[in-house]
C-alpha cells in the first residue's frame, strides 16, 4: 500500500510538471502564423512509417545509423514494459500484462534483448562524443551546455538500461530460488543472473525493488527534462515527420498575401472580394519569433542537433558562416526568450531584439543556395530553406535589403523585363549572323 501511495504521488507530480511545460509550449504555438493545411493523411502515414519508424534517413550513415535505429526501436519495445510498470505501481499488481501469454513472452524477451543492445549503443555514443571529437558535433552554435545536455541524456539512458536489466536479473533469480512460475522470457537476464548467485530471496527482492524504483523514477525525471533539451525530439520527431511538407524539395511556396496583392492590381474591381483581415498584412516574411509558422516552431522543437544538415551544406563546407542547424536552433532559442513576454503582454511586446540580425545574420541567409541538401539529409524532415527564404523575403520586401548582385537583377527585371542588362529589343541580336534553314 505504501508503495502504491508513493508511486501515485510521483506519477501525479510527473504529470503535473509535464502538463505545465506542455501548456507553456502550446501557448507559444498560439503566437505563430498559419502554415500549410494538413491533408493527404494516407501519404503522411507512409512517410512516417518510412522515415520515422523505418529510420531510412539515418541509414545514410550505415554504421552509426544502425546503432541509432537500434536505440529507437529498443525504446519502442521497452515502452510496453514501462506501461506495465505504471499499471503495477498504481494497482499494486505484479507483471499485470502476463495474461497476454505468448505475446507477453515476445514483448519481455524483446525488451530484455534490446535493453542490452541499447546499453551497448549508448556506450558507443558516449565514447564517440567524449573521445573521437566528431566534426559535425561542433560549431559556433554548439555551446558547452549543448554537449553537457547530450552527455547527460545519454548517461540517463544508460542508467535506464542498467536498471532494467538489473530488475529482470533479480526477478529471474528470485523466481528461480523460490520455485515460483516465471512470467515472460528473459534470454539476456537469465544468463547474467549468475551475478546474483549466493544472494538470499530477501536480498534479491531488495535488488529488484531498488532497480524497479530507479528505472521508473528515471523515466519520470527524463520525461520532464526532455522539453528543456535537444532530446525533446524523443516526443516530437515522429509527429514532425507526420506533419512534413509533402511537396517536392526545392519548391518555393508563394505568399498568399502577395498573391492577393497581385490579383488586386490585375483586377481592382474584385477588391470587394477580399476581406479586410486578408487585405491587411502585418509583415511580409519573417523577422522575429511571432512571424514564423507553427511548422517552423515544430521543426525547432524536433531538431536533434545531430549536425547532418550542416555537414552536407555546400555553403558551410566552403567556409561560409551559414549553418542550417544553427538557424533552427536559433528559432527555438528566440521563442524561448521572447515567448513569455508575448504571452504576457500580447503581440505588441518588444524587447528591442529580433531573430533576424540578433540571432541570424544577413550574411548567413544570403549564403544559402537553396539546394535543399540540408532538408534532404535531416532525419526528422525539417525544412530549413523554407524558413531561410521567408527571412530573405522580409529583408527584400520590408527593408529593400539584398546583396548588390540581386539588386541589379531586380533593377533589370523592372527596367528590361528580364534579369539581363540589355534592352528587350536587343535580345535576338545574337542570331543576326546565323544561317537558319527554314523548312
Establish if 75 belongs to a structural domain: yes
List Cβ neighbours of 280 (8 Å cut-off, separation of 6 or more). Answer: none
Residue closest to 244 by CA, chosen among 34, 47, 46, 42: 47
* 165 shares its domain with 271: no
Instruction: Give dist(CA 72, CA 68) in Å, integer.
Output: 6
Residue 439's pLDDT is what?
A: 61
pLDDT digits (tens, 9 = 90+) for 207-249: 999 999 999 999 999 999 999 988 899 899 999 999 999 999 9
Establish if 431 belongs to a structural domain: no
pLDDT digits (tens, 9 = 90+) for 277-318: 555 557 889 999 999 999 999 999 999 999 999 999 999 999
Do 143 and 229 touch, CB atoms closer than 8 A? no
Do 377 and 312 touch, CB atoms closer than 8 A? yes
Establish if 171 belongs to a structural domain: yes
SS3 360: strand
Establish if 188 belongs to a structural domain: yes
Establish if 46 belongs to a structural domain: no
Structural domain span for residue 17? 2-30+61-233
Establish if 89 belongs to a structural domain: yes
* Number of DSSP helices (H) and strands (E) in the chain, helices first: 19, 0
* 318 shares its domain with 391: yes
- Number of domains comprising the chain: 2
Residue closest to 376 by CA, chosen among 283, 295, 314, 292: 314
What does the pLDDT average to over 12-20?
A: 96
What's the predicted TM-score (pTM) here?
A: 0.89
Task: Give me 31's grid cell.
Answer: 503566437
Establish if 53 belongs to a structural domain: no
CATH number assigned to the domain comprising residue 317: 1.10.1060
Task: Give me 246's grid cell.
Answer: 509533402
Instruction: Give dist(CA 390, CA 245) in Å, integer.
Output: 15
Residue 307's pLDDT is what?
A: 93
pLDDT band at 434 (very low <50, low <70, confident <90, very high): confident
Give CA torsion, residues 85, 87, 91, 93, to 10 deg.
-50
Residue 297's pLDDT is what?
A: 96
pLDDT band at 9 (very low <50, low <70, confident <90, very high): very high
* 271 shares its domain with 316: yes
Task: Give me 214's grid cell.
Answer: 530507479
* 146 shares its domain with 19: yes
Residue closest to 118 by CA, chosen among 170, 149, 147, 153: 153
Amino acid at each position: 500500500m505504501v508503495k502504491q501511495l508513493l508511486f501515485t504521488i510521483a506519477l501525479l507530480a510527473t504529470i503535473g510538471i509535464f502538463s505545465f511545460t506542455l501548456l507553456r509550449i502550446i501557448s507559444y504555438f498560439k503566437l505563430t502564423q498559419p502554415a500549410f493545411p494538413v491533408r493527404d493523411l494516407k501519404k503522411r502515414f507512409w512517410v512516417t512509417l518510412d522515415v520515422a519508424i523505418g529510420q531510412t534517413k539515418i541509414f545514410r550513415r550505415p554504421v552509426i545509423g544502425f546503432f541509432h535505429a537500434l536505440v529507437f526501436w529498443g525504446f519502442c519495445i521497452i515502452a510496453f514494459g514501462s506501461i506495465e510498470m505504471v499499471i503495477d505501481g498504481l494497482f499494486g499488481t505484479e507483471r499485470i500484462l502476463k495474461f497476454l501469454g505468448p505475446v507477453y513472452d515476445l514483448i519481455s524477451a524483446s525488451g530484455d534483448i534490446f535493453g542490452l543492445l541499447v546499453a551497448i549503443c549508448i556506450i558507443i555514443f558516449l565514447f564517440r562524443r567524449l573521445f573521437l571529437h566528431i566534426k559535425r558535433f561542433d560549431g559556433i552554435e554548439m555551446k558547452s551546455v549543448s554537449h553537457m545536455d547530450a552527455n547527460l541524456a545519454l548517461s540517463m539512458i544508460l542508467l535506464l538500461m542498467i536498471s532494467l536489466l538489473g530488475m529482470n536479473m533479480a526477478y529471474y533469480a528470485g523466481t528461480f530460488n523460490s520455485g515460483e512460475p516465471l512470467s515472460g522470457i528473459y534470454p539476456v537476464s537469465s544468463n547474467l543472473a549468475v551475478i546474483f548467485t549466493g544472494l538470499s530471496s530477501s536480498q534479491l527482492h531488495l535488488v529488484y525493488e531498488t532497480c524497479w524504483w530507479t528505472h521508473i523514477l528515471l523515466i519520470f525525471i527524463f520525461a520532464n527534462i526532455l522539453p528543456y533539451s535537444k532530446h525533446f525530439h524523443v516526443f516530437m520527431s515522429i509527429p514532425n515527420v507526420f506533419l512534413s511538407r509533402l511537396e517536392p524539395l526545392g519548391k518555393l511556396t508563394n505568399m498568399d498575401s502577395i498573391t492577393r496583392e497581385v490579383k488586386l492590381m490585375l483586377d481592382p474591381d474584385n477588391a470587394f472580394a477580399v476581406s479586410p483581415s486578408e487585405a491587411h498584412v502585418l509583415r511580409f516574411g519573417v523577422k522575429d519569433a511571432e512571424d514564423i509558422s507553427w511548422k517552423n516552431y515544430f521543426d525547432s522543437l524536433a531538431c536533434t542537433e545531430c549536425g547532418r544538415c550542416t555537414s552536407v551544406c555546400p555553403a558551410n563546407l566552403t567556409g561560409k558562416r551559414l549553418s542550417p542547424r544553427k538557424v533552427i536552433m536559433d528559432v527555438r532559442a528566440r521563442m524561448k526568450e521572447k515567448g513569455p513576454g508575448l504571452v504576457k503582454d500580447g503581440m505588441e511586446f518588444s524587447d528591442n531584439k529580433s531573430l533576424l540580425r540578433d540571432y541570424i545574420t544577413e550574411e548567413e541567409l544570403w549564403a544559402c543556395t537553396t539546394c535543399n541538401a540540408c532538408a534532404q539529409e535531416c532525419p526528422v524532415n525539417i525544412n530549413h530553406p523554407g524558413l531561410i527564404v521567408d527571412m530573405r523575403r522580409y529583408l527584400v520586401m520590408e527593408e529593400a535589403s539584398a546583396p548588390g548582385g540581386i539588386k541589379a537583377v531586380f533593377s533589370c527585371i523592372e527596367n528590361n523585363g528580364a534579369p539581363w542588362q540589355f534592352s528587350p529589343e536587343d535580345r535576338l541580336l545574337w542570331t543576326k549572323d546565323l544561317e537558319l534553314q527554314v523548312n
